[in-house]
């Protein structure tokens, strides 16, 4: 004999099973067709003056930070500079034509992309003129349009000079051959 309350449990379990099947089938059909638009609008980025990047876009999206760190080690620790993986070339290509910068606006390349994916962009906390806050940066200090020879050297210029002076001193003293 079946109790009166158990009919409700059976119908409840059946309704739950139907709802789960409907959910599974609808998600499977959504995956096979068009992809849904994101709730967050993709950034409209202006830049990319060159005809192609040093690596495919899909690779750069995932691994550009590793390339930047590897290039930093090659340049700062070993003194090896290559034209292909030069940060200056990256910035020149991706800088906005409006302000010649990769920062300063969510329409600028680096800042716009990092904001879209929710990743903190901390490179320019160190690599900027000391009197400019990160949010106010108009250009990267390695690229100073119209820089005059008598102008104050950028942070990158100062660091480069210290490194070459230290290297020359080490070579003179016989520490490095």
Would you write out the chain's pLDDT as a tens digit for each of its 177 residues? 555 567 777 877 777 777 777 777 666 555 555 556 667 778 777 666 777 888 898 998 899 888 888 888 888 888 888 888 788 888 888 888 888 888 877 888 888 888 888 888 877 777 664 444 544 444 444 445 555 556 677 777 777 788 788 878 877 887 655
> Exposed e or buried b for every residue in 32-64, given b needs 16+ CB within 10 A?
eeeeeeeeeeebebbbeeeeeebeeeeeeeeeb
Alpha carbon distance 135, 155 (integer Å): 18
Q: For residues 91 and 124, is the Cβ–Cβ distance under 8 A? A: no
- The pLDDT score that the predictor gives to residue 27 is 62
Q: Where are the domains of the chain?
A: 41-142
Contact status, residue 142 vs residue 87, Cβ threshold 8 Å: yes
- SS3 (DSSP) at 9: helix
In angstroms, rounded to a whole number, what is the distance separating the alpha carbons of residues 143 and 154?
Answer: 9
- The answer to whether 38 and 117 have CB atoms below 8 angstroms apart is no
Predicted confidence at residue 136, as pLDDT, reads 44
129 alpha-carbon distance from chain centroid: 20
């Amino acid at each position: 004999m079946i109790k009166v309350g158990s009919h409700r449990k059976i119908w409840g379990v059946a309704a739950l099973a139907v709802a789960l099947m409907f959910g599974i089938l609808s998600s499977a059909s959504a995956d096979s067709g068009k992809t849904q638009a994101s709730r967050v609008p993709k950034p409209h980025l202006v830049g990319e003056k060159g005809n192609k990047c040093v690596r495919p876009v899909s690779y750069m999206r995932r691994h550009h930070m590793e390339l930047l760190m590897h290039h930093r080690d090659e340049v700062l620790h070993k003194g090896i500079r290559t034209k292909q993986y030069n940060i200056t070339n990256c910035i020149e290509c991706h800088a906005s034509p409006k302000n010649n910068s990769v920062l300063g606006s969510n329409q600028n390349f680096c800042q716009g992309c990092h904001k879209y994916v929710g990743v903190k962009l901390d490179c320019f906390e160190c690599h900027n003129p000391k009197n400019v806050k990160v949010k106010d940066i108009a250009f990267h200090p390695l690229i100073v349009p119209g820089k005059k020879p008598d102008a104050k050297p950028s942070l990158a210029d100062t660091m480069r000079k210290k490194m070459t002076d230290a290297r020359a001193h080490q070579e003179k003293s016989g520490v490095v051959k």
